Structure 1
Amino acid sequence: MKKKLGLLYGGKSAEHDVSLSTARAVTQALNFDKFDVFPIFITRDGEWRKGDQLTAPVESIEQLQLGKGTQDSIPNDVSSFLLNKDEKEFDVIFPLLHGTNGEDGTVQGLLEVLNLPYVGNGVLASSAGMDKVVMKQLFEHAGLKQVPYVYFIRKEWNKNQDALIAKMEEELTWPMFVKPANLGSSVGISKASNREELIKAIDLASKYDRKIIVETGIVAREVEMGVLGNDSPKVSVPGEIKPVTDFYDYDSKYNDNNTGLIIPAPVTTDVVERMKDMAIRAFKVLDCSGLVRADFFVTAEDDIVINEVNTMPGFTPVSMYPILWQNTGVTYSDLIEQLIDLAIERHEEKQQLQYQ
């Protein structure tokens, strides 16, 4: 029996375009002999649109941008939209949403309430993984080594700019990296080497989120690992990123084919084992499920610092997560099928819970 799969993509997010690229790539890897695939597009304005069943891979992003007049377009009644009693309910939803209103636990909460199986992390892991400050606080609880950081909200910055700058200069060292706390794909991230650049970077980050995090820059190699599973996760080979820019920014991730990826990363067996241990500890402390990409810094002295985890890493052709698993022996298609199986496994386990 073919499974009915809903691909959920787009969304009200600064990473809307990234989501479209991910959705196209996933359609190109799906086995259409195993799945009945339905596109579910969320516009930039938050309107949900379900298109006709896909029978072949999508070749262009424009095909995914479903216009008005598609099969369904129901902005205010998503429950009936997803639970159409006139036809078979979805066997599983694959959220290919990045950033706010998708990767942050909001859509996951909706799918939980509707009791629909879905790929990837649950509400807690998604929301905690999205908020870099909460994530770092949980990592600290788990004893995972991190770079020093300072965080604050936009109103504090507007009221106490001089005091916050003094705090950052006291607790951190130059250069500093400024980030919106609740965004991914390096959107809104800047490197600052002095006060003037710091102020400009914070003003930019505050356009994307009310909470800002500023971290000490570190001279180190950027190494990433993929984590796959539910209660017994497994870890991929490590991959090193060699960006041509100062850091692995948005263009490096999605537009620049010159960014170097070294897989497996040239690190010692001891470093690999320590990163694996840290990746699994990070996965478990956030109560993750399905997939996570764990990002590390490795110094010249082989000291390891965890930077962050991404609970919905991209699936574009140049994305690190699927490439890591390809180099670990799991093809793109097999990876997607494993994620779908893990989603159904987790959902079936939840159905065993008693509620009275």
Structure 2
Amino acid sequence: MDKPTVAVAFGGRSSEHGVSCVTAGGVLGAIDRERWNVVALGITSDGRWTVASDAPEDWAIVDGKLPTVKDDGETVLLPVSAGDKIWRVEGHDGHIRHLANIDVVFPVLHGPYGEDGTLQGALELLDIRYVGAGVLASALGMDKEFMKTAFKAAGLPVTPDVVLYPGDDVEGHRADVEALGLPLFVKPARAGSSMGISRVDDLTELEAAVAEAVLHDPKVLIERGVSGREIETAVLATATEVRVSPAGEIVAGDDHAFYDFEAKYLDEGHVRLLCPTTLPAGVADVVADYARRAFRAVGAEGLARVDAFVAEDGTVTVNEINTMPGFTTTSMYPRMWASAGVEYPELVQTLLETALERRIGLR
């Protein structure tokens, strides 16, 4: 029988374009080419879909610089109707040629215009199977305000916050912000990879922190800082079960006030990722339970990483869920599964098989 074809889609229009490219390199290197035909779909920073290199080494960080998808002047064309599996390419001269019959898409875009349900919606319209969460879960997981709304409805503890909507003046919310106490974390409401996040230890820093967040999203969250350990848990769901990995812990060095973008991707030597980590008796069970409930609260599918804080007294607070977590070979999601005996290639294979078997349409 012919091998099924997977298209790895990456890049995109968000500020996490480069991170997505690095994630793609990891996934492309883990797919078993004896079992799958592989097509690499790169999306440029201005939204053009192109045929990209499927060589993992072409998407590595080099000299501290993240890779990017280049515009080669050709455009990948999605199928023209639901159920059509034929993807095409429009060349420089306008000639259209066949690219591949694609059976499943592995979308490793991070941030808006990819991880937020927009790409998933396009694939749903065309009855194309794909890895990971659907439209609603992706949108909820991207928007931290509504993510927390779903968590609270499920009875999960979350960090108190103040939301600034587009056009809001910080001064108009000064009293509510002051009531949160210090330190504060100011975040774009719909971004990931710690893009645009600032720690505020003095309220004189607030306006600058909000201005930095607005560069990534006009909607901003101001959250109360939580003193405690940063704990992450990986969730893997198939048609028959939802599995939770052993918990991992992030320990940032003195050079980083928190686990920011630089610490995640450019300065790993100053950050320790403990997989698995040791938690007090009973706390590990709470962390795992909260991870399952958070996954269910947003209606996630396939995979997710759930982040939480564990205070000194053992209290657990859910921070967020990432429906398409960082998936480089050094990212926490695959490392936590590796600590449980599930290596990267097996993880990728499980996700692809689950997506290929998943029913099309409403689930």
Could you state the TM-score of these two structures normalised by the residue count of structure 2? Answer: 0.89
Equivalent of residue 176 in structure 1, options 167, 170, 184: 184
Aligned counterparts, 1:222-301, within 5 A: 222-230=230-238, 232-244=241-253, 245-258=256-269, 259-301=271-313
Q: Which residue of 1 aligns with 2:161?
A: 149
Distance 1:176 1:132 in 2: 16
- Checking the alignment, whether the CA contact within 8 Å between 1:230 and 1:288 is kept in structure 2 is no
Contact 2:5 2:104 in 1 (8 A): yes
Judge which range, 82-91 or 129-138, deviates more.
Answer: 82-91
Distance 1:148-1:10 versus aligned 2 partners, 3 A rule: same
Q: How far 1:45 moved relative to its partner?
A: 0.8
Answering whether residue 144 of structure 2 is matched by residue 94 of structure 1, we say no
Report the structure, 1 or 2, having the larger helix content.
1
> Which amino acid in the other structure matches residue 241 of structure 1?
I
CA distance in 1 between counterparts of 2:52 and 2:325 reads 25
Unaligned runs of 5+ in 2: 61-66, 89-97
Q: What are the equivalent positions in structure 2 for 1:1-356 lying under 5 Å apart?
A: 1-51=2-52, 54=54, 57-61=55-59, 65-68=69-72, 72-74=74-76, 77-80=77-80, 83-84=86-87, 89-157=101-169, 161-170=170-179, 172-230=180-238, 232-244=241-253, 245-258=256-269, 259-346=271-358, 348=359, 350=360
- One-letter identity of the residue aligned with 2:217: D
The DSSP-based 3-state class of the residue aligned with 2:321 is strand
Contact 1:253/1:318 (<8 A) preserved? no
Distance 2:335 2:188 in 1: 27
Shift of 1:269: 4.0
**1:268 deviation in Å?**
2.6
1:116-156: CA deviation from partner (whole Å, max 9, x where unpaired): 01001100000000000000011010110112111121311
2: distance between equivalents of 1:288 and 1:19? 20
Relative to structure 1, the CA distance from residue 168 to residue 51 in structure 2 (aligned partners, 3 Å threshold; closer, same or farther) is closer
Instruction: Output the amino acid matched with 1:43.
Output: T
Letter in 1 for 2:69: Q
- Aligned letter for 1:296? A
Q: CA RMSD in A?
A: 2.0
Q: 1:62-115 CA distances to partner (integer Å, 9 max, x unpaired)? A: 89735425xx514xx533497338575211000010001000000000000010
Q: Are 1:39 and 1:64, in contact at CA under 8 Å, matched by a contact in 2? A: no
Q: How many angstroms apart in 1 are the aligned matches of 2:25 and 2:99?
A: 25
TM-aligned CA deviation for residue 330 of structure 1:
0.5
The 2-side partners of 1:331 and 1:137 are apart by 34
In the aligned structure 2, how far is the partner of 1:89 from the partner of 1:181?
37
Offset at residue 316 of structure 1 (A): 1.3
Residue aligned with 1:13, SS: coil
Q: Is the CA contact (8 Å cut-off) linking 2:11 and 2:44 kept in structure 1?
A: yes
| AA aligned opposite 1:193 | D
SS in 1 for 2:356: helix
Q: Contact 2:48–2:71 at 8 Å: present in 1 too?
A: no
Task: Give the secondary-structure state (helix, strand or coil) at the position aligned to 1:45.
Answer: coil
Identity of aligned residues (%): 39
- CA offsets, 1:12-36, max 9 Å, x none? 0100000110111111111111111
Please give the TM-score of this superposition, normalised by the length of structure 1: 0.91
Question: How far is the alpha carbon of 1:166 from its aligned partner?
Answer: 1.8
Aligned positions, number: 340
How far is the alpha carbon of 1:194 from its aligned partner? 1.4
CA distance, structure 2, for counterparts of residue 269 and residue 180 of structure 1: 35
Paired residue secondary structure (1:156):
coil
What SS does the aligned partner of 1:214 have? strand
Q: Distance in 2 between matches of 1:64 and 1:132?
A: 27
